[in-house]
């Protein structure tokens, strides 16, 4: 057999295997969403003495129109034993006034404000959180980003998952209903492509965690060196999760989503965020270079070519039918992640879905082009393995 024929046969096999893997991911994520998300637990509340104490670490920088309403949801949690540790890097940050306003409004909530941070590495989030982490008095720490809003029973849901062998509980990232097409675009991504990979990885035993909302055992983090040990990385959430898994602890996913509700958003901000995340994944997990073949249009082309080569089916007809099936599966999954009616029309979904899928390869190529990232107020050069160095302006 000629080398070209061998190559074509191998590529056809790859296309067929890709078809099976991707649709298994579709089905796993859709079934998981329908069975496990937004489920009310019927168990009676534990007596106060048995409730797990939680130290909430809240990194803050700057303000947006939704910051005060997002933060306030943490002051009204229906949970008997927790503290709020608000961490702000700079004394002049307007977030300081927001924090003081909430501390004055809720004097009976166990909460404190830590200003100034502590420089222990290149990661600005870790530096900001250090004083709060050192002051934390409970055995569980909940690191939760500033743009997240919660329901009164969110912390109860998280601690219910923290069973004897679990060391980390995380929430599936999603986006709150907001106005504008940029908000729809974010909601479509976090309701389709992102949960498909995120859920499939966790269901099959691959530790996939984002640090937007993570409840962790503090003693396990301390065994790994505490937050200081992760200050050399930009993607500290990945390495904290890895350290916990390496010590034999299991992960669990909350039944509620981690609801992002930033008041500042645009298509450009979304694109920049996706490029930054892709750069981090490429440097941490080299297999990320295969990500583009998991996106609808490129995957449909590869699978369509394989179907044509093996079964003599019309490639373009298969491509169109496969994209349509993918589109329908994504809509079914999105409605499941939403847990209720969508805030936009089916036409809005179709437009946002098409644009998001069209952006995927461009985002990946942009991430390959430049190994530096801008995050918060700094610029960083990424190294293989996930470490980074800060780029200082001379």
Q: Has 330 been annotated as catalytic?
A: no
State the Cα–Cα distance between residues 30 and 316, nearest whole angstrom. Answer: 27
pLDDT number for residue 388: 85
Average confidence (pLDDT) over 255-269: 95
| Three-state DSSP class for residue 385 | coil
Joined tokens for residue 381:
């050069």
Take residue 226 and report the two structure tokens written for it: 């505490």
The number of residues in the chain equals: 394
Question: Which residue from 237, 330, 324, 220 is spatially nearest to 277, judged by alpha carbons?
Answer: 237
What is the Cα–Cα distance from 104 to 351, expressed in whole angstroms?
A: 45
Q: Whole-angstrom Cα distance, residue 70 to residue 315? A: 49
Quick one: which of 20, 29, 22 has its CA closest to 295?
A: 22
Question: Given 145, 157, 237, 330, which residue is catalytic?
Answer: 237
CATH architecture of 49-265: Alpha-Beta Complex (3.90)
Give me the helices (H) in the chain, please.
3-36, 67-75, 95-105, 124-135, 154-161, 181-191, 193-203, 218-223, 236-246, 267-284, 296-311, 315-338, 346-369
Percent of the chain whose pLDDT exceeds 90: 82
Task: List the structure tokens of 252.
Answer: 């669990």
Cβ(173)–Cβ(218) below 8 Å: no
Rg (CA), the chain: 22
Residue 378 is predicted with a pLDDT of: 81
Domain boundaries, the chain: 3-33+284-382, 49-265
How far is the first Cα of the chain from the last one, in angstroms, to the nearest whole number?
60
Judge whether residue 66 has pLDDT over 50: yes
Structure confidence by residue, pLDDT tens digits, 191-230: 999 999 999 999 999 889 999 999 999 999 999 999 999 9
Predicted confidence (pLDDT) at residue 25 exceeds the cutoff of 50:
yes
Task: Compute the CA torsion angle 270, 272, 274, 277 (nearest 10 deg).
Answer: -140
**Token code pair at residue 219:** 């003693």
Mean pLDDT of 181-191: 97
Q: What is the pLDDT of residues 4-22, one digit of tens each?
A: 777 878 889 999 999 999 9
Count CB atoms within 10 A of the CB of residue 3. 7
Each residue's pLDDT tens digit, 144-177: 999 999 999 999 999 999 999 999 999 999 999 9
Rounded CA-CA distance 194/257 in Å is 13
Q: pLDDT tens across 292-338, in order? A: 999 999 999 999 999 999 999 999 999 999 999 999 999 999 999 99
| pLDDT range class, residue 369, cuts 50, 70, 90 | confident
* pLDDT of 44 higher than 80: no
CA nearest 250: which of 337, 141, 170?
Answer: 170
Q: What is the pLDDT of residue 393?
A: 63
Residues 99-136: tens digit of each pLDDT: 999 999 999 999 999 999 999 999 999 999 999 999 99
Can you give the pLDDT at residue 47?
44
Read off the tokens for 194.
């992102």
Q: Name the packing angle between helices 67-75 and 95-105 (round to 10°).
A: 30
- Find the mean pLDDT for residues 237-245: 96
Does 3 have pLDDT greater than 80?
A: no
Q: Are strands 140-144 and 173-175 parallel, antiparallel or unpaired?
A: unpaired
């Amino acid at each position: 057999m000629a080398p070209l024929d061998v190559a074509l046969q191998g590529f056809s096999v790859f296309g067929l295997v890709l078809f099976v893997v991707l649709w298994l991911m579709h089905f796993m994520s859709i079934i998981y969403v329908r069975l496990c998300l937004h489920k009310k637990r019927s168990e009676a509340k534990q007596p106060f003495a048995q409730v797990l104490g939680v130290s909430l670490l809240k990194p803050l920088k700057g303000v947006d129109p939704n910051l005060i309403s997002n933060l306030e949801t943490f002051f009204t949690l229906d949970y008997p034993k927790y503290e709020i540790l608000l961490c702000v890097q700079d004394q002049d940050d307007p977030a300081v006034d927001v924090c003081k306003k909430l501390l004055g409004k809720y004097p009976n909530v166990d909460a404190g404000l830590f200003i100034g941070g502590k420089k222990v590495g290149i990661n600005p989030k870790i530096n900001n959180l250090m004083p709060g982490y050192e002051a934390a008095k409970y055995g569980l720490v909940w690191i939760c980003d500033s743009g997240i809003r919660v329901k009164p029973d969110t912390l109860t849901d998280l601690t219910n998952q923290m069973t004897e062998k679990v060391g980390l509980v995380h929430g599936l990232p999603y986006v709150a209903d907001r106005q504008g097409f940029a908000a729809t675009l974010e909601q479509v991504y976090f309701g389709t492509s992102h949960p498909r990979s995120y859920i499939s990885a966790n269901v099959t035993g691959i530790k996939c965690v984002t640090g937007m909302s993570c409840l962790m055992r503090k003693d396990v983090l301390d065994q790994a060196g505490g937050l200081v040990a992760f200050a050399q990385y930009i993607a500290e959430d990945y390495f904290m999760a890895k350290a916990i898994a390496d010590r034999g602890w299991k992960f669990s996913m909350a039944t509620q989503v981690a609801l992002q509700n930033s008041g500042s958003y645009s298509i450009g901000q979304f694109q920049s965020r996706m490029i930054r995340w892709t750069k981090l994944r490429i440097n941490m997990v080299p297999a990320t270079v295969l990500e583009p073949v998991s996106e609808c249009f490129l995957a449909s082309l590869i699978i369509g070519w394989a179907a044509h080569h093996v079964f003599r089916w019309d490639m373009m007809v298969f491509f169109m039918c496969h994209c349509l099936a993918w589109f329908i599966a994504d809509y079914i999954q999105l409605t499941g992640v939403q847990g209720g009616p969508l805030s936009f029309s089916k036409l809005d979904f179709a437009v946002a879905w098409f644009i998001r899928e069209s952006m995927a390869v461009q985002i990946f190529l942009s991430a390959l082009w430049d190994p530096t990232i801008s995050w918060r107020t700094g610029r960083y050069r990424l190294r293989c393995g996930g470490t980074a160095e800060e780029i200082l302006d001379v």
